[in-house]
Amino acid sequence: MKFLLAISSSKYSGPTLRAGAMIAQAFDAELNVVYVGAKLKGLQEGPLDLSRENLAKWNIYHPGIEVLKWAFQELKEICPANDELKSAEFNPEHIKEDQNRYKLILPTTKGCKVQLTLREGELIQELRDELQLDDYALTIIGGSQGKRHMAHDLIQYLPSSIFVARGLDLKKKYKLLLLVDDSEATKRSVTFGAEIAKTEHWEVRTLTVSKTKRFGRGYSGAAKKAKAALEKRDIPVEQFFLTGDPVTTFVDFSGDDHIIIMGASTANPLKKLFFGSKPIKTLERSTVPILIVK
Amino acid sequence: MRISADMIFWIQQKRWLLIAFGLGGLLYHFIPGPSGLSPEGYHILIIIFMTLILILKEPVPLPAIALQIIFWQVIIGGSTPNEVGSYFMNDAVFFIMGSLMLAVAIVSQGLDKRMALGIIRITGNKTWRIVAGFTAISAILSSFVGPHMITAMLLPVALTLIRFTPKSSKSTSGLTAALLFSIAYGATIGSIGTPSGGGRNVIMMNYWAEFGSGSLSYLQWMKMVYPMVLIEIPITAFIILKTFPPEMQILDTAVRRLSVEVAHAGKISAREILTVVLFALILLSWMTLSEDYGLGSIALIGIFLYMALGLVSWKELNRGVNWGVILLFGATISIGVQMKNTGGAAWLADLSVGFLQSVIPDIDTLRAIVSVALSGVMSNLLSSSATVAVVGPVVLNLGGDPILLGLASVIASAFGYFTAVAAPACTIIYSSGLVKAPDFLRAGWKMAVMSVLSLMLVALVWWPILN
């Protein structure tokens, strides 16, 4: 299993990096840490490349490489049990251009489960391109993605599950809030949530919301299945059934001490572009970390 | 479902391409050209309109923008492929190609360490002197070799000084900005000083020749424009120091550590001497022989010699030169010439003059304002060279003295102080991540006011004296 973790700077990406490393450890997954820097005008590309090449001779590197270096040092601290990572050294000279991106080759880390990648361009396009190069199960991204279109683009265009680490405080004791309905993705959300809950010993709640007072067979059946799946793994679960507008209820219920896990919508992409979907609206409105499982 | 999400994503990413071509199609098929403009001129203006949108938003890579200029000229512009091809390569494009190659050849020799030592010896360790020194050296050198080469060479020197400053980077933000802007703005103001200071200068010279508007030799250009560079150097340093007051007045430790660092470079090698001598010869040839052989051909002779003497390899040149830019300039110059040939440039010139004549009745003042404003504004959005390639034919059709108006336009196209994209030097310092977009605005407006006043001073006092 392979996860992609997008970072922006040492100032803002600390919690995202820690959360990403933690989730990757929970799943024993390979982690590709990617920094996406702004791409400047094509007209200036030549002078810029010339300048960067000359700067490298003075041991001065692309600002993104400094961010990757920081991420690398942090990961060493976060994952003390990773012996390969412990013995590896960050060397900017080992950055190689490969498929429109720069990859840091970690020469002494045979079997190391960490990769470092530098890309330049528009965030969604670059993450999408990176995800298409390998079979990624999850993309982990920081919390400043609140804009309407960013929420839509993240969910709609990245071909993997997405964890948006919005307002994540790792010192806080979170509960996992699994949003359960009759959709296909609920099953995968439960599997994902169970794995994290098991490793981190977090409490799990399931929430099923109906617009009317009547909970159909699909909803109650899905909730029952979720409970069974979690209990089968010895994870205690509290179940809630509420009535009202689903997105408002999700947001109100989650407060500030839950991590939401929900399935992606299967609605028509055009409809989602113009009218949104439950995951898009929840991502826009909630203030807690949210995992959208595809 | 995935296919349709992919399609929506593609449409979203390429929306400016669709908008440009959509509007172009609409104008071409449904909206008749204005009276007084030939159909060919109208079609060329449509291509330019689409191209400007594409250059501004870059929904497709730069070389693709160049290619669409070429095929649209053949499909709707009424030109034959051979006609487009004949305007595509000329001395201006040779010069742009040659100067990009020269930059790679010279930067790869590691002369920047010598330059660092030289600057420090002259300026000493006082911060204001270092900022003034960087501004002056950048301006003077970039006036001969172009701003991107000098910025590429001086940036590591400035960043090393900053790195060796014994304070956290947060508490030296003023010093950092002052050093970086002294390089970028110094290089930008210097780039107008001689024809070889920038591709746009040679593009304008090429238009003068192509349109039969007269000519200026290398030394005549210098005589007319260099005083402006000299006026601007101290004022630029002053503006930078006032806008970004450095936190430290003396950079004693940093200068000492930089001296030690560059001292490791050892004695100057034969290779380095040869590089400098060869470049001095190229410069001398530009000054004395360019009227006969053209700036571009001389630059190419220089590159040939650098390769023949083993100072640079083709692999290095190939890697370091952005061929897309060369393609784009070839294409924009070819459409610039077609704009003139089809009457599109004259129509645009009449339109802009006619539009403003009620506000500014004096025609000479109006022409000067139009050429300066058009170039100054557009260079902040596109780039200075692209601006001259597109605006040049319009300016030369405004009437009045084409040499003076052309010069004013070229000079104003260097006023790209407001954004990181306007000038290569600004882009390079911006890419360091140490200066932010608002910093360009903070200092840029002062630089623009100063530059306009300097231009007025030179145009109203110095040029009449020369004439």
pLDDT of B275 > 90? The answer is yes
> Looking at B55, B78, B101, which one is the last position of a domain?
B78
Specify which residues A241 forms β-bridges with: A208
Question: In terms of Cα–Cα distance, which of B315, B95, B89 is closest to B210?
Answer: B89
SS (H, E, C) B155-173: HHHHHHHHHCCCCCHHHHH
- Are A43 and B62 spatial neighbours (Cβ–Cβ below 8 Å)? yes
The two three-digit tokens of residue A161, written as one number: 């599950």
The two three-digit tokens of residue B134, written as one number: 């960087």
Tell whether A136 and A268 lie within a shared domain: no
In a domain, A162, yes or no: no
Q: Report the alpha-carbon distance of residue A245 to residue A263 in Å, rounded.
A: 17
> Looking at B47, B78, B109, which one is the last position of a domain?
B78
Q: Which residues contact B1 (CB under 8 A, 6 or more apart)?
A: A266, A268, A269
Q: How many residues does this entry show for chain B?
A: 467
pLDDT of B381 > 90? The answer is no
**Across A98-107, B146-155, B173-182, B457-466, least confident range:** A98-107
pLDDT of B393 > 50? The answer is yes
- Are B283 and B190 spatial neighbours (Cβ–Cβ below 8 Å)? no
Mean pLDDT of chain A: 85
B-chain residues within 8 Å CB-CB of A41? Answer: 58, 383, 421, 427
Tell whether A76 and A120 lie within a shared domain: yes
In a domain, A125, yes or no: yes
For A132-150, b/e burial (b = at least 16 CB within 10 A) is: eeeebbbbbbbbebeeeeb
Tell whether B73 and B84 lie within a shared domain: no
Whole-number pLDDT of residue A109:
46
Tell whether B339 and B433 lie within a shared domain: yes
In a domain, B5, yes or no: no
Tell whether B167 and B22 lie within a shared domain: no
Tell whether A22 and A76 lie within a shared domain: yes
pLDDT of A146 > 70? The answer is no
Closest by Cβ to A46, choosing from B61, B100, B159:
B100
| Interface membership of B9 toward A (CB under 8 Å) | yes
Closest by Cβ to A41, choosing from B2, B58, B100:
B58
Q: Report the alpha-carbon distance of residue A76 to residue B16 in Å, rounded.
A: 43
The two three-digit tokens of residue B447, written as one number: 């630089």
Nearest chain B residue (CA) to A46: B322
Q: Which strands make up the sheet holding A290-293, listed edge to edge?
A: A95-98, A101-104, A114-120, A30-37, A2-7, A138-142, A161-165, A290-293, A258-263, A175-179, A203-210, A237-243
Q: Which residues contact B76 (CB under 8 A, 6 or more apart)?
A: B28, B43, B46, B47
> Looking at A96, A121, A142, which one is the last position of a domain?
A142
The two three-digit tokens of residue B21, written as one number: 């071509």
B55 contacts A50? CB cut-off 8 A: no
A51 contacts B8? CB cut-off 8 A: no
What is the percent of chain B with per-residue pLDDT over 70, rounded to a whole number? Answer: 99
Helix ranges restricted to H, B294-343: 295-308, 314-320, 323-341
pLDDT in tens, B194-205: 999 988 999 999
In a domain, B93, yes or no: yes
Tell whether B83 and B217 lie within a shared domain: yes
In a domain, B36, yes or no: yes
Whole-number pLDDT of residue B2:
53
| Interface membership of A43 toward B (CB under 8 Å) | yes
CA-CA-CA-CA torsion sign (A272, A278, A280, A281): positive
pLDDT in tens, B394-430: 999 988 899 999 999 999 999 989 888 778 899 899 9
Confidence of residue B155 (pLDDT cuts 50, 70, 90): very high
Whole-number pLDDT of residue A206:
92
The two three-digit tokens of residue B62, written as one number: 């730069």
Helix ranges restricted to H, B211-265: 218-243, 252-263
Whole-number pLDDT of residue A188:
86
The two three-digit tokens of residue B122, written as one number: 């002259």
Q: Report the alpha-carbon distance of residue A128 to residue A126 in Å, rounded.
A: 5
Tell whether A40 and A130 lie within a shared domain: yes
In a domain, B396, yes or no: yes
> Looking at A101, A118, A142, which one is the last position of a domain?
A142
Tell whether A109 and A29 lie within a shared domain: yes
Tell whether B126 and B258 lie within a shared domain: yes
Question: In terms of Cα–Cα distance, which of A69, A52, A70 is closest to A61?
Answer: A52
In a domain, B282, yes or no: yes
Q: Which residues contact B52 (CB under 8 A, 6 or more apart)?
A: B382, B390
B430 contacts A57? CB cut-off 8 A: no
Tell whether B50 and B125 lie within a shared domain: no
A53 contacts B107? CB cut-off 8 A: yes
pLDDT of B437 > 80? The answer is yes
The two three-digit tokens of residue B72, written as one number: 């649209």
| Interface membership of B138 toward A (CB under 8 Å) | no
- Are A215 and A208 spatial neighbours (Cβ–Cβ below 8 Å)? yes
Whole-number pLDDT of residue A271:
82
Pairing of strands A95-98, A114-120: unpaired
pLDDT of A185 > 60? The answer is yes
Tell whether B71 and B97 lie within a shared domain: no
In a domain, B413, yes or no: yes
A-chain residues within 8 Å CB-CB of B328? Answer: 43
Domain count, chain A: 2
> Looking at A125, A142, A159, which one is the last position of a domain?
A142
* Alpha-carbon distances of B21 from A51, B53, B56, B76, rounded to whole Å: 35, 10, 14, 13
* Stretch (H or E) spanning B273: helix B270-293
CB pairs under 8 A between A and B: 110
CA-CA-CA-CA torsion sign (A177, A183, A185, A190): positive
Across A98-102, B36-40, B112-116, B162-166, which has the greatest mean pLDDT? B36-40
What is the percent of chain B with per-residue pLDDT over 90, rounded to a whole number? Answer: 59
B-chain residues within 8 Å CB-CB of A156? Answer: 5, 8-9
- Are B1 and A269 spatial neighbours (Cβ–Cβ below 8 Å)? yes
Specify which residues A98 forms β-bridges with: A101
SS3 at position B248: coil
Tell whether A136 and A13 lie within a shared domain: yes
Closest by Cβ to A40, choosing from B324, B385, B427:
B427
In a domain, A185, yes or no: yes
Q: What is the CATH number of the domain that holds A205?
A: 3.40.50.12370
Angle at A266 between CA A263 and CA A268, to 5 degrees: 145
As a whole number, mean pLDDT of residues B269-281 equals 93
Nearest chain A residue (CA) to B321: A46
Whole-number pLDDT of residue B168:
59
Across A10-14, A132-136, B238-242, which has the greatest mean pLDDT? B238-242
B112 contacts A54? CB cut-off 8 A: yes
Across A14-18, B15-19, B107-111, which has the greatest mean pLDDT? B15-19
pLDDT of B175 > 60? The answer is yes
The two three-digit tokens of residue B420, written as one number: 């990181």
Domain count, chain B: 2
Residue with the larger pLDDT of the pair B150 and A146: B150
B61 contacts A54? CB cut-off 8 A: no
pLDDT of A53 > 50? The answer is yes
Tell whether B72 and B194 lie within a shared domain: no
pLDDT of B276 > 50? The answer is yes
pLDDT of B348 > 80? The answer is yes
With 0-12 / 13-18 / 19 or more C-beta atoms within 10 angstroms meaning exposed / middle / buried, residue B141 is: buried
Structural domain span for residue B106: 79-466
Helix ranges restricted to H, chain A: 14-27, 45-57, 63-78, 83-87, 123-131, 148-157, 185-200, 217-232, 246-254, 269-275, 278-285
Q: Report the alpha-carbon distance of residue A283 to residue A260 in Å, rounded.
A: 10
A45 contacts B62? CB cut-off 8 A: yes
Predicted ipTM of the assembly: 0.84
| Interface membership of A267 toward B (CB under 8 Å) | no
Q: Report the alpha-carbon distance of residue B91 to residue B204 in Å, rounded.
A: 11
In a domain, B440, yes or no: yes
| Interface membership of B357 toward A (CB under 8 Å) | no
Q: Which residues contact B85 (CB under 8 A, 6 or more apart)?
A: none
Q: Report the alpha-carbon distance of residue A186 to residue A163 in Å, rounded.
A: 15
pLDDT of A112 > 70? The answer is no
The two three-digit tokens of residue B91, written as one number: 């001395």
Closest by Cβ to A55, choosing from B148, B156, B322:
B156
B386 contacts A46? CB cut-off 8 A: no
pLDDT of B386 > 70? The answer is yes
B320 contacts A54? CB cut-off 8 A: no
The two three-digit tokens of residue A76, written as one number: 């060493």
pLDDT of A186 > 70? The answer is yes
In a domain, A41, yes or no: yes
Tell whether B339 and B452 lie within a shared domain: yes
In a domain, A45, yes or no: yes
In a domain, B3, yes or no: no
Tell whether A132 and A215 lie within a shared domain: no
pLDDT of A149 > 80? The answer is no
pLDDT in tens, B218-264: 999 999 999 999 999 999 999 999 999 999 889 888 888 888 877 77
Tell whether B208 and B347 lie within a shared domain: yes
Tell whether A19 and A136 lie within a shared domain: yes
Tell whether B42 and B95 lie within a shared domain: no
As a whole number, mean pLDDT of residues A118-135 equals 92
Whole-number pLDDT of residue A130:
94
B-chain residues within 8 Å CB-CB of A70? Answer: none
> Looking at B61, B78, B95, which one is the last position of a domain?
B78
**Across A143-157, B238-252, B420-434, B441-455, least confident range:** A143-157
Nearest chain B residue (CA) to A269: B5
Tell whether A87 and A29 lie within a shared domain: yes
As a whole number, mean pLDDT of residues B104-116 equals 86
Whole-number pLDDT of residue B3:
60
B104 contacts A44? CB cut-off 8 A: no
Q: Report the alpha-carbon distance of residue A34 to residue A4 in Å, rounded.
A: 7
CA dihedral A72, A73, A75, A79 (to 10 degrees): 140
In a domain, A276, yes or no: yes
SS (H, E, C) A174-190: CEEEEECCCCCHHHHHH
Tell whether A181 and A276 lie within a shared domain: yes
- Are A147 and A285 spatial neighbours (Cβ–Cβ below 8 Å)? no
To the nearest whole Å, the CA of B403 is away from the closest chain A CA by 27
Whole-number pLDDT of residue B51:
94
Angle at B391 between CA B389 and CA B394, to 5 degrees: 120
In a domain, A166, yes or no: no
Q: Which residues contact B456 (CB under 8 A, 6 or more apart)?
A: none
Tell whether B101 and B50 lie within a shared domain: no
pLDDT in tens, A66-92: 899 999 988 888 877 777 777 788 888
Tell whether A138 and A179 lie within a shared domain: no
Q: Report the alpha-carbon distance of residue A191 to residue B220 in Å, rounded.
A: 77
B-chain residues within 8 Å CB-CB of A118? Answer: none
Q: What is the CATH number of the domain that holds A78?
A: 3.40.50.620
Tell whether A193 and A258 lie within a shared domain: yes
CA B29 to chain centre: 36
In a domain, A21, yes or no: yes
Q: How many C-beta atoms lie closer than 10 Å to residue A182's C-beta?
A: 14
Q: Please, which residues 387-446 of chain B have a Cβ atom closer than 8 Å to chain A?
A: 420-421, 424-425, 427-428, 430-433
Q: Report the alpha-carbon distance of residue B137 to residue A106 in Å, rounded.
A: 41
A44 contacts B427? CB cut-off 8 A: yes
As a whole number, mean pLDDT of residues A94-110 equals 75
Mean pLDDT of chain B: 91
Structural domain span for residue A25: 2-142
